[in-house]
Homo-oligomer: A and B are copies of this chain.
Amino acid sequence: MSQTVQLYDRLRAAILALDLAPGERLTERGLESEFEASRTPVRAALMRLDSEGLVQREGRGWIVSPIDTVEIGALAELREAVESAAIRLSVERASDADVQAIAALLDATRPARDEEQGVRAGGDFHVELSRLSGNALLADAVRNAMTRLARTRWLEVRTAEAREQAWREHREIIEAVAARDAERASALIASHIRGTNERLLAFLAAERQRLRGHGVAIVQAHTGGSQPSGRPRRMPQ
């Protein structure tokens, strides 16, 4: 596998694991020495991560995308639109075997031992279900949204009860699909996404102080066009 791909994967993993803090400034030469690669693949990886929303440009340079409650809300609205449509198409097009495969996948991850597994299982469920729509673009949109949300979703599945609730709702959804009830499946998944988002935003608001202490900045909106007054300075870590 090419070095660029490996570097992309490692950078991506570091961002999603919060090893690179949201809002942190990145320099191409810093990454070059940290990941022991030359600038060319570093830049390629950054450009790809930029297109996924995991890093952004800030002025001339790069930053790890901050955790942005406005963006999280927007992602929920996008997911509701896309996944509702996808599940309708899945009800129409998916084979029974495909649906049962997802139900089995759900049963296999029933325990959802910890946050990480909960996040992974949840993401897989939503992406795989969208794939059954037969529309690759819908599935890609869902995958992309889940990636953007990955850094915060663990907050929502920290307790065993939360993981149990998520599992139960997923179970209901796949049963509606199996029953070929498009209306119910669509309503269930929309409500599931909405509820998850509300709980997530509530957790974020509650934990904001603590997370800030761990170097995780939470902002309310994308930095707009104009810079704030005063000399823009390097983030003091």
Asked whether, in the complex, the Cβ of A82 is within 8 Å of the Cβ of B89, the reply is no
- Number of residues on chain A facing chain B (CB within 8 A): 24
Interface residues of A in 57-104 (CB under 8 A from B): 71, 74-75, 77-78, 80-82, 84-86, 89
Cβ contacts under 8 Å, A229 to chain B? none
Check if A135 sits within 8 Å of B74, measured CB to CB. yes
Task: Point out the residues of chain B lying under 8 angstroms from A77, CB to CB.
Answer: 85, 89, 133, 135, 137-138
A78-B141 in contact (CB<8A): yes
* 0/1 interface trace, chain A 135-149, chain B, CB 8 Å (1 if under): 111100100000000
Answer whether residue A227 sits at the interface, using C-beta atoms and an 8 A cutoff. no
Residues of chain B within 8 A of A82, CB atoms compared? 78, 81-82
| Residues of A near any B CB (own CB < 8 A) | 43-44, 47-48, 51, 71, 74-75, 77-78, 80-82, 84-86, 89, 133, 135-138, 141, 222
